[in-house]
Amino acid sequence: MKVPADLLLLPQWVVPVESEGALADHAVVVQDGGILDVQPADAALARYAAAQTLALPGRALIPGLVNLHGHAAMSLLRGFADDQPLTAGLSGRIWLAEKKHVSGAFVRDGTLLAAAEMLAGGITACNDMYFFPQAAGEAFLQAGMRTTLGLFVAEFASPYATDADDYLAKGLAVRDELKDEPLLAFAFAPHAPCSLSDATLGRINTLAEQLGLPIHTQLHETADEIRESLEQFGVRPLERLARLGLLGPNFIGTHAVHVNEAEIESLASRGCHVAHCPSSELKLASGIAPVAGLLRAGVNIGLGTDGAARNNRLDLFAEMRLAALLAKGASGDPAAMPAAAALKAATLGAARALNLDDQIGSIVPGKRADLVAVDLRAPACQPVFDPVSHLVYVAGREHVTHVWVDGKLKLNDRCLVDLDTDDLTARAAYWRTKLTRG
């Protein structure tokens, strides 16, 4: 008697990520939202009686992409402060707009817009950092997207909270309310070291250790940040965090553009992770992160898009390609970040940083069925000698045809299943009008 299953997928290639290369003519079997088996197609068809069998000719089936750093709600600020230095764009436009308009409704609508863009582009999980995390969490749940909600912390007042104690209290309350949602995880998300006192960072560290949560912060993004830390605290930001005890396997430093060799070794020796956001870092002229050096030292790297106000696209296919090319160009080594390493950074590497690598990030039995089908049949994708190389250097998010999160179909033949794109467009237009009026 055949073994029952919910879904049997028959792509041309399965790209497990945990092992090198691609498996041709293999099947992925899904049951109860998880990956039950990965077998040669003929063997799987003989063994399993699936409620649904889906042939995916010319498709590569990959793990869902994991966006390790973003500000989803800022999709409503896409293009709002372009072609300006980071500080000028923030203080002159973004912060003023946020002070006046950011609310639970703003965050909910912006997060839904971002979730639609990410899901359509093969991103099944993200690590979010912004105000009103409860509204963001509700939006991600509505979209059916896996998310690590950042419990944002700052010393400055905002429409969301008045001071660090208020941010922490509200963030912890959100975690308590939503912690049983299977698609949601949580992380402490201090804004940046220079904007937080030693006492606040120490408290975050203590809470993170007690609750077993990652700490996710923006770090060494600009040269100005380094100078400010030296003037204010007498040390560079990373050294300050090390002295305060924050560096360790649960620490995710976003950007890490301006890290020297000693700091790279410090990150590596403590088991820290880096969220590399190449498009954002280039667009803001922050610099080019030393990815080749980080990889050589053994630092785990994941890829992020940053927010749409800083990058404009929530597109991890673009980030994979750019990360690989920049690593080669900056180091002079064409093998600095091979295609397989770029794909791993966008999947298993990011999942590992979030302590989710036992659930997602690769296609192996026992993990959740967060899966993406990428169509490589177009003339621009021919011929296909190496599907992994094509996924990084040739394919784009427009080639994504199907997406599953926890075994549930979210994108069907390039059409979103659960989100109304006309409604999202109308919500975006509403906020554009409000923001334009000031």
Q: What is the pLDDT of residue 389?
A: 98
What is the chain's mean pLDDT, rounded?
Answer: 97
Residue 194 has pLDDT above 80, yes or no: yes
Label residue 274 exposed, middle or buried (CB < 10 Å: 0-12, 13-18, 19+). Answer: buried
**Residue 249 pLDDT > 80:** yes
Is a pLDDT exceeding 80 seen at residue 52?
A: yes
Of 157, 151, 154, 186, whose CA–CA distance to 170 is shortest?
151
**Per-residue pLDDT band at 87 (split at 50, 70, 90):** low
Range 253-264 average pLDDT: 98
Closest CA to 38 of 66, 65, 64, 17: 17
Contact between residue 111 and residue 72 where contact means Cβ atoms under 8 Å apart: yes
Task: Pick the more confident residue, 84 or 140.
Answer: 140
For residues 402 and 56, is the Cβ–Cβ distance under 8 A?
Answer: yes
Q: What is the predicted pLDDT for the residue at 20?
A: 85
CB 249 within 8 A of CB 271: yes
Taking only the tens place, the pLDDT of each residue in 326-344 is 999 999 999 999 999 999 9
Confidence of residue 85 (pLDDT cuts 50, 70, 90): confident
Q: What is the model's pLDDT at position 397?
A: 98
Share of the chain above pLDDT 70, in %: 98
Each residue of 378-412: pLDDT tens digit?
Answer: 999 999 999 999 999 999 999 999 999 999 999 99
Q: What is the pLDDT of residues 57-77, one digit of tens each?
A: 999 999 999 999 999 999 999
**Is the pLDDT reported for residue 15 higher than 90?**
yes
Condensed to tens digits (0 to 9), the pLDDT of residues 120-129 reads 999 999 999 9
Other beta carbons less than 10 A from residue 276's beta carbon: 31
Q: Which domains does the chain have, with CATH numbers?
A: 3-63+370-406 (2.30.40.10), 65-353 (3.20.20.140)
- Predicted confidence at residue 317, as pLDDT, reads 99
Q: What is the predicted pLDDT for the residue at 98?
A: 94
Q: How far apart are CA 71 and CA 278, in angstroms?
A: 15
pLDDT, average across residues 21-33: 98
pLDDT of residue 326: 98
How does pLDDT run across 348-383, given as a tens digit for each residue?
999 999 999 999 999 999 999 999 999 999 999 999
